[in-house]
Amino acid sequence: MHPALAADLDRFDQLLDAARDRAVAALRGLADRPVAAPAPHATTPAEPLPEDGAGGAAALARFGERWERGLSGSAGPRYLGFVTGGATPAAVAGDWLVGTYDQNVVSDGDSAAADLERETIGWLRELFGLGPEHTGALVSGATMSNATGLAVAREWLGERLGVSVADAGAAALGEVTVLSGAAHSSVTKALSLLGLGRGALRELPLLPGREAVDVDGLAAALAELDGRPAVVVANSGTVNTVDFDDLRAIAALRARYPFWLHVDAAFGAFAALSPAHAHLVAGLDEADSVCVDLHKWLNVPYDAAVQFTRRRDLQVRVFRNAAAYLAPPDGTDPDFVHLTPENSRRLRALPAWLTLAAYGRAGHREVVERNIALARRFGERVASGDALRLLAPVRLNVVCFTLADAPTRERVAAVAEAAAAGGEVVVTPTVYGGTPGLRAAFSNWRTGPEDVDRAAAALAAAAREAGT
Ligand SMILES: *Cc1c(COP(=O)(O)O)cnc(C)c1O
């Protein structure tokens, strides 16, 4: 064994203690840490590959000197950019143990890891109000969850047309139509990846003043296909205004037209945890495939999402990995290697399992309901001041707003940059209804009313500054 490695084996405990001290300091300082690292992020010039390693303790210290200050406060309470979850205490502990046990959740073989993942998926299914017919797997994020669901949809199109896309390729399908109202950008990325092409997506009319699809427009588009099977991507929680398609009305159209219903509920699925908001995802159980992110509103560390489908047989057709040393998929409970894009897979179920075991449905409902209340509070701050104005009503956990005066792309971006540079808040620039604006997304378990007030004050000050 290399001497540096042998020495670390002897001092494993001390190395982990040093890492733990660093983690505790980072977590303690999170609320006060600047939300975004000032550019340039690298604090020293790039270094060459070390020939002789320094050993774990010295390497950890080097990381602290060179990189730690350059990391953002994205796990903290005032990072409101994109839709960013933090990581609950139990989830962080779980993530440490993922690396410790270093399981490869390919198959059942010699470990209970796959059963732990199955139990986690069962808990998640219950959390989102899905039934036992929805089976699934954990993947790296909602982009991969959408891609997996759409891959199964692609196989279903083949089944309708009497071809196996898994064997013959996407060209065997001819022209493919994917219909959606306000699809997330990851859907077009998935269509590109799957060989269906970004051009397969037809964007449908939305309801007036909304980001939800006009179901009559969807029906008309389906009628035009003249019986040709299609894929419908319904959206449960759009990123600008958190609008929800009417899933029940969309699902009912299947009595008249053949289509696969995929629902992108990356963070919107968590509305199911709040009795006052669960109606927004009514009908989710009728979907053929469902995408939900876990590193957003479940507050587990990156990277984790879940995908569900009612057609595991088709999923196995797509992802089957035939090798002499692997059991063939047995139909009832196939190994994960036959279900997901990856072959080797980390035990990313463990942080999700631990946070659900630690805080339960009620604990996670509290996070969701608090975040919704905080979004409303932030919306009230925006609406009651004179520097900013709302671009849309606050429907759930995202506030879409802009400058009260002359909101150009440049001025809006400058306000976001100034607020982030002050260390107070990260928000994401967007365009809504043709107007440049900003989004503040509440999905971190740590965020409280004082964070909302600090964030709103910093943004209003930056907006007034930009106006003078
Ligand atoms: C975040 C998000 C995605 C993509 O998720 P990743 O985890 O970044 O891959 C897809 N759809 C919606 C609605 C999202 O909010």
**One pLDDT digit (tens) per residue for the chain, 468 residues:** 999 999 999 999 999 999 999 999 999 999 888 999 877 777 678 999 999 999 999 999 999 999 998 999 999 999 999 999 999 999 999 999 999 999 999 988 899 999 999 999 999 999 999 999 999 999 999 999 999 999 999 999 999 999 999 999 999 999 999 999 999 999 999 999 999 999 999 999 999 999 999 999 999 999 999 999 999 999 999 999 999 999 999 999 999 999 999 999 999 999 999 999 999 999 999 999 999 999 999 999 999 999 999 999 999 999 999 887 777 776 678 999 999 999 999 999 999 999 999 999 999 999 999 999 999 999 999 999 999 999 999 999 999 999 999 999 999 999 999 999 999 999 999 999 999 999 999 999 999 999 999 999 999 999 999 876
Q: Give yes or no for residue 184 CB within 6 A of ligand 1.
A: yes
Residues 353, 116 contacting (CB under 8 angstroms)? yes
- pLDDT given for residue 463 in this prediction: 96
23-88+360-468: what CATH class? alpha beta
Q: Give yes or no for residue 83 CB within 6 A of ligand 1.
A: yes
Q: Give yes or no for residue 141 CB within 6 A of ligand 1.
A: yes
Burial degree of 49 (CB within 10 A; 0-12, 13-18, 19+): exposed
Q: Name, in order, each residue with C-beta under 8 angstroms of 265's C-beta and a sequence gap of 6 or more.
A: 128, 236, 237, 281, 284, 290, 291, 292
- 294 DSSP 8-state letter: S
Q: How far apart are CA 153 and CA 151, in angstroms?
A: 5
Q: Give yes or no for residue 396 CB within 6 A of ligand 1.
A: no
SS3 content of the chain, % helix, strand, coil (to 5): 45, 15, 40
Q: Give yes or no for residue 394 CB within 6 A of ligand 1.
A: no
- pLDDT given for residue 13 in this prediction: 98
Q: Looking at beta carbons, which pairs linking 155-163 to residues 24 or more positions away fall under 8 Å?
A: 155/311, 155/314, 155/315, 155/317, 155/318, 156/229, 156/260, 156/288, 156/311, 156/314, 157/229, 157/231, 157/260, 159/314, 160/229, 160/258, 161/229
- The CA 238 to ligand 1 mean position distance, Å, reads 10
Distances (CA, A) of 19 to 2, 4, 15: 22, 17, 6
Q: Name, in order, each residue with C-beta under 8 angstroms of 390's C-beta and a sequence gap of 6 or more.
A: 379, 382, 383, 399, 400, 401
Q: Which atom of ligand 1 is nearest to the CA of 265?
A: 13
Give the number of other CB atoms < 10 A from CB of residue 30.
17
- pLDDT given for residue 247 in this prediction: 98
- The CA 385 to ligand 1 mean position distance, Å, reads 31
Same fold, 23-88+360-468 and 103-345: no
Residues 391, 402 contacting (CB under 8 angstroms)? yes
Count of alpha carbons within 13 Å of 156, Cβ hemisphere only?
24
Q: Give yes or no for residue 297 CB within 6 A of ligand 1.
A: no
Residues 170, 194 contacting (CB under 8 angstroms)? yes
465 residue type, one letter:
E
Residue 128: in which H helix or E strand, if any?
none
Q: What is the 3-state secondary structure (H, E, C) of 168-214?
A: HCHHHHCCCCEEECCCCHHHHHHHHHCCCCHHHEEECCECCCCCCEC
- pLDDT given for residue 468 in this prediction: 64
Structure tokens at 134: 């929805």
Q: How far apart are CA 55 and CA 215, in angstroms?
A: 61
- pLDDT given for residue 95 in this prediction: 98
Q: Give yes or no for residue 218 CB within 6 A of ligand 1.
A: no
Alpha carbon nearest to ligand 1 atom 3, residue = 142
Extended strands (E) in 368-427:
388-390, 398-403
- pLDDT given for residue 58 in this prediction: 98
Q: Name, in order, each residue with C-beta under 8 angstroms of 209's C-beta and a sequence gap of 6 or more.
A: none
CATH of domain 103-345: 3.40.640.10
Q: Give yes or no for residue 147 CB within 6 A of ligand 1.
A: no
Residues 277, 271 contacting (CB under 8 angstroms)? yes
- Ligand 1 mutation target, pool 243, 284, 290, 293, most atoms within 8 A of CB: 293
- The domain spans of the chain are 23-88+360-468, 103-345
- For the chain, the first-to-last Cα distance in angstroms comes to 65
How large is the angle between the packed helices 89-101 and 349-384, nearest 10 degrees?
Answer: 150
